[in-house]
């Protein structure tokens, strides 16, 4: 039996909102959206033609921040754990995969049409049986709307040859299970990690990059011996909380939500959601689910010969056994799966929200400062020559920029505008941890003024010790 998991998700989000009341943080979404556009983090997609709902483009600084966040996740998963391997699978998905995963039948949201203004709404957004836009009560009954995007494959678009744009990255991990096991000689417990785009035709995309139609996920499928799953689940919840704290999302802004059994996804034995206090309210940042043996059990051949505990659809199409042989008992085991699944875009929103600060300065002035963790900052250091037309200053600054760039810590910029104050303000606002000024004394004594973003303190440091200094700042 399948239970519609998107329905459940809708109920869950509504439930949380009513239960805990919306707690707004000090910053508004408008402030964040404005900073993102002004400084080149995130733009509305297709803006010059009026924009497209639920789609955003990451600008020069946004792409750096996003890459840094994904790198932090990849390091924590793949590089720090020898029993986790990576994968980068295709986005276009064979419909058969999404048939056996349950998505064709169940991946839908209840949708309502307003007969007066023709607007379409997700049912949970209807308050007092009225259209949120024109307030008419002349609404249709809710009906399921499948959220998967379809596209034609090949030159003839007659509906017979099509693919789905994957609605989660997870399914490609399950169908590659045997490829990864065979090529990397893995035994349980082990994991497969993937970062990539997912697509959902959300009925009502909203709240900036929180609910969009095209987004990125960072998903780990961690395969364990059945019976050890509860313990592994708890341990992954803790690991994921620790990781979010390291990215600058403090525990004070997080709540764990134990999804009640009647609201669980069709594949889940237990799910714990990491809820974050977004500017628009408390909502899901990441879900950590025990998917049991549902997915491998659904996609495997010879289902009858395997001990599958989940209620799966009969599968006569698969040509591969998705199980692992126990070396001692020689028995084939379909592993259970623990899945921490985080949204990159929601992560960016939470991190930006936490980092955004307006500080009152002496003399009635104020500054906007993005106190990002340095490993996430789009620019790690700005090297600023005191005068832009002075060849000696510019040469020394430019050489320093090249030296620091070679450390491979991320982007270093040469800020050759000649306006130190303006440079400091810009780099505070985009989260650059250090500004390094090269002045006339630098030519004499080979020192530079280093200004710290958070304390605004300035100190003179020998230029040849700046690489080591920057490594410490960025790597903590």
Of 297 and 385, nearer to ligand GAP (C-beta) is 297
Instruction: State which residue has the least CB distance to ligand GAP.
Output: 343
Distance between CA 210 and CA 347 in Å, rounded?
Answer: 9
Distance between CA 426 and CA 369 in Å, rounded?
Answer: 9
223 near ligand GAP (CB under 6 A): no
212 near ligand GAP (CB under 6 A): yes
| Distance in Å, CB of 265 to ligand GAP, minimum | 8
109 near ligand GAP (CB under 6 A): no
Where does this chain touch ligand GAP (CB under 6 A) — which range of 176-184, 189-197, 207-215, 256-264?
207-215
The 10 Å Cβ neighbour count of residue 242 is: 11
Out of 13, 202, 293, 428, point to the residue binding ligand GAP (CB under 6 A): 202
CB 378, CB 61: distance < 8 Å: yes
Out of 85, 109, 219, 293, point to the residue binding ligand GAP (CB under 6 A): 219
343 near ligand GAP (CB under 6 A): yes
| Distance in Å, CB of 271 to ligand GAP, minimum | 8
CB 49, CB 63: distance < 8 Å: no
CB 19, CB 286: distance < 8 Å: no
337 near ligand GAP (CB under 6 A): no
| Distance in Å, CB of 349 to ligand GAP, minimum | 9
| Distance in Å, CB of 73 to ligand GAP, minimum | 12
286 near ligand GAP (CB under 6 A): yes
Distance between CA 29 and CA 52 in Å, rounded?
Answer: 19
Out of 342, 372, 376, 470, point to the residue binding ligand GAP (CB under 6 A): 342
221 near ligand GAP (CB under 6 A): no
Question: What is the phi/psi pair of residue 327, to 5°?
Answer: -60, -40
The 10 Å Cβ neighbour count of residue 278 is: 24
Of 229 and 439, nearer to ligand GAP (C-beta) is 229
Site for ligand GAP in 363-392 (CB under 6 A): none
DSSP 3-state of 474? helix
Compute how many residues bind ligand GAP; rule: CB under 6 A. 19
Question: What is the phi/psi pair of residue 187, to 5°?
Answer: -125, 160
- C-alpha closest to that of 267 among 338, 188, 195, 181: 338
Distance between CA 246 and CA 375 in Å, rounded?
Answer: 10
Distance between CA 444 and CA 366 in Å, rounded?
Answer: 35
Q: Which residues bind ligand GAP (CB under 6 A)?
A: 168, 170, 200, 202, 211-212, 215, 217, 219, 284-287, 339, 341-343, 345-346
């Amino acid at each position: 039996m399948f239970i519609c998991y998107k329905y459940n998700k809708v109920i869950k989000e509504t439930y949380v909102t009513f239960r805990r009341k919306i707690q707004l943080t000090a910053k508004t979404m408008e402030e964040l959206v404005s900073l993102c556009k002004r400084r080149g983090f995130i733009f509305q997609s297709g803006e010059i033609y009026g924009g497209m709902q639920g789609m955003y483009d990451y600008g020069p600084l946004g792409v750096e921040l996003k890459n840094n966040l994904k790198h932090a996740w990849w390091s924590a998963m793949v590089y720090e754990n020898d029993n986790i391997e990576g994968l980068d699978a295709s986005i276009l998905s064979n419909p058969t995969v999404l048939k056996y995963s349950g998505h064709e039948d169940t991946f839908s949201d209840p949708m309502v049409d307003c007969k007066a203004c023709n607007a379409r709404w997700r049912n949970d957004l209807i308050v007092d049986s009225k259209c949120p836009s024109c307030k008419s009560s002349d609404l249709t009954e809710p009906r399921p709307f499948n959220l998967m995007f379809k596209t034609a494959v090949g030159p003839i678009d007659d509906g017979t040859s099509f693919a789905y744009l994957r609605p989660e990255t997870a399914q490609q991990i399950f169908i590659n299970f045997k490829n990864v096991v065979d090529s990397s000689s893995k035994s349980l417990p082990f994991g497969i990690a993937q970062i990539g785009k997912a697509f959902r035709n959300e009925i009502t995309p909203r709240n900036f990059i929180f609910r969009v139609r095209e987004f990125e996920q960072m998903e780990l499928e961690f395969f364990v011996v059945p019976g050890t799953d509860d313990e592994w689940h708890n341990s992954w919840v803790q690991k994921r909380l620790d990781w979010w704290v390291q990215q600058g999302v403090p525990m004070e802004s997080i709540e764990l939500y134990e999804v009640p059994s009647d609201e669980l996804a069709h594949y889940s034995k237990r799910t714990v959601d990491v809820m974050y206090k977004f500017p628009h309210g408390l909502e899901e940042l990441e879900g950590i689910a025990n998917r049991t043996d549902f997915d491998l059990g659904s996609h495997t051949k010879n289902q009858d010969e395997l001990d599958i505990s989940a209620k799966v659809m009969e599968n006569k199409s698969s040509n591969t056994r998705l199980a692992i042989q126990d070396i001692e008992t020689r028995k084939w085991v379909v592993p259970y799966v623990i899945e921490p699944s985080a949204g990159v875009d929601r992560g960016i929103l939470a991190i930006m929200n936490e980092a955004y600060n307006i500080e009152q300065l002496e003399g009635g002035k104020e500054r906007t400062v993005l106190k990002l963790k340095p490993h996430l900052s789009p620019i790690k250091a700005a090297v600023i020559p005191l005068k832009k037309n002075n060849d000696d200053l510019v040469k020394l600054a430019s050489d320093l920029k090249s030296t620091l760039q070679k450390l491979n810590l991320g982007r270093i910029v040469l800020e050759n505008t000649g306006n130190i104050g303006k440079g400091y303000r810009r780099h505070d606002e985009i989260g650059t941890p250090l500004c390094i000024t090269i002045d006339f004394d630098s030519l004499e004594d080979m020192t530079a003024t280093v200004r710290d973003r958070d304390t605004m303190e300035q100190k003179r440091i020998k230029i040849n010790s700046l690489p080591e200094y920057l490594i410490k700042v960025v790597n903590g």
